[in-house]
Structure 1
Amino acid sequence: MTHANDHTVAPAGADIDWNAAADGFDDEPDHGLRDPETRAAWADRLRSWLPGSPADVLDLGCGTGSLSLLAAEQGHRVTGVDSSPAMVDRARAKLAGRDAAVLCGQAAEPPVGERRFDVVLVRHVLWTLPDPGRVLRHWRDLLRPGGRFVLVEGVWGTLHPVGIPAGRLTALLAPLSADVRVERLSDDPVLWGKAVEDERYAVVASV
């Protein structure tokens, strides 16, 4: 793989038809979290990344809402945002009856007005955006003082790798946070429903 460099190796994700992908999105073990062991593994990780007391969590690019649901089940107040109406419909169905709302909008410019949050949670979205540094600065402005980023990213593929290496993401966060922690996720096959060899990680950064 060529992901050891310090550059984002991602084409823009705008050419992916996420509405068309919605029907089969939850078939991936780490998307639908249908396997109890995989679901429990993500719940444990999320519990370690999110505040211990109820917090306002903004889940950007929430997809069908699997992580939003885990956060809501842990007592957090969740606002999910996704650009795909089909994904939003599925997320709203999952989160029905919870202290949660799902909005249709762009992750880079979420339609939350003047609201501020304790956590900006993003999984596998930043790599699809053309200017991740600018996006991170905007997301920081959505956080309350003492808030945190929880960013799950990686680099996938061999011939044409896509993603954002951990070194690049931590460099982008350095001006925004004095407390950046990287947690490797590649070594836990339960999270993905299979063994993986590529770079997968989470970054927790306080602001």
Structure 2
Amino acid sequence: MALSVAVEMVVAMTDLTSAIAGYWDAAARAFDDEPDHGLRAEHTRAAWDRLLRAWAPSDPADVLDVGCGTGSLSVLLAAAGHRVTGVDLAPQMIEQARAKMAAAGLAGRFLIGDAAVPPTGGERFDMLLCRHLVWTLPGPHAALREWVARLRPHGRLVMVEGRWSESGPPYAVEGETLPWSGGICAADLVSAVRTLVTDLRVEPLSDDSDLWGGPVSDERYALVARI
């Protein structure tokens, strides 16, 4: 009986992972139409560049961008001189990220894989970045532990997250839910991360309309911490 239950759980998780990958693959073509995804407007791109330079080490560093999407933030980090590895579950996202990095004349590595368990082996990084990712994860607490383990001593964890005005996952498998569907408020994410990190701070981002291409009414913030 126990073996049967375990097999059913593995199958359900595989189905959910496939559903997530399929959703974001289908969304990849129009993904950059969102101002904060494509960063096509100069003022939006400049706003994100300013934040990333403030969060990242001043010297060239190894940066892991989990759930990198089409690679817009990865490109900014590479342009600032960092060695960037991007990971995303959706092959179409990774294809666009590689093309975007090449078009910018920059070097970067993009891997297809589960952002919750990045396929980077025993590599360690100076900074791990994720943006608007944890709400999509079936096991966000396990992902947080995994990410911290990928950082070098004194490494930086930077999470750009929020609690969205809408709720509910865009994909579902019968009987499965996403624990942080609809996003997570800053206080709850701090509680989830606090025991894993030091020097934790939260930077509110909702009021900076340049980041989002216009005003937003929901909670958006960055959690920045050291290991």
TM-score, L = length of structure 2 = 0.83
Secondary structure of the residue aligned to 2:48 is: helix
1:175 lines up with 2:195 in the alignment: yes
Contact 2:159 2:224 survives alignment (8 Å): yes
Q: Return the offset for 1:102.
A: 0.3
Q: C-alpha deviations, 1:33-80, integer Å up to 9, x for none?
A: 000000000000111111111100000000000000000000000000
Q: 1:184 aligns with which of 204, 217, 221?
A: 204
Distance 1:15 1:113 in 2: 21
Superposed CA RMSD in Å reads: 1.7
Aligned residues of 1:76 and 1:99 also touching (Cα < 8 A): no
Paired letter, 2:67: G
Q: Does the aligned pair in 2 maintain the 1:30–1:38 contact within 8 Å? A: yes
Return the letter of the residue paired with 1:64.
Answer: T
| AA at the equivalent of 2:99 | A
1:122 maps to 2:136: no
Partner of 1:78: 84
Shift of 1:177: 1.1
Q: Which has the higher contact order (CA 8 A, sep 6+)?
A: 1
Counterpart-to-counterpart distance in 1, 2:126 and 2:85: 11
2:155 equivalent among 144, 147, 151: 147
Deviation >2 Å, runs of 4+? 12-16, 158-161
1:62 to 68, 84, 90: 68
**Map of 1:163 onto structure 2:** 183
Deviation of the 1:145 alpha carbon: 0.4
Identity %: 56
- What code does the residue aligned with 2:190 have? T
Structure number with larger C-alpha Rg: 2
| 1:119-165 alpha-carbon deviations (Å, 9 max, x no partner) | 11000011111222211111111000010101000011256571011
Could you say which structure has the higher helix fraction?
2
Distance 1:158 1:104, change over 3 A: closer
CA contact (8 A) 1:120 1:149 kept: yes
1:17 counterpart SS class: helix
CA distance in 2, matches of 1:15, 1:70: 25
2:167/2:182 contact within 8 Å kept: no
- Checking the alignment, whether the CA contact within 8 Å between 1:183 and 1:201 is kept in structure 2 is yes
The 2-side partners of 1:121 and 1:68 are apart by: 9
1:176 partner amino acid: L
Give the equivalent residue in structure 1 for 2:27.
21
- Pick aligned residue for 1:132 from 120, 127, 140: 140
Residue 219 (structure 2) pairs with residue 199 (structure 1): yes
Q: Is 1:51 paired with 2:57?
A: yes
Mapped pair 1:100 → 2:108: yes
Q: Specify whether residues 88 and 158 from structure 1 end up closer, same or farther in structure 2 by C-alpha distance, changes over 3 A only.
A: closer
| Deviation of 1:15 (Å) | 7.7
Is the contact made by 2:21 and 2:89 (CA closer than 8 Å) also made in structure 1? Answer: no
Q: Structure 2 unaligned segments of length 5 or more: list them.
A: 1-16, 169-180
> Hey, what does 1:113 align to over in structure 2?
121
Unaligned runs of 5+ in 1: 1-11
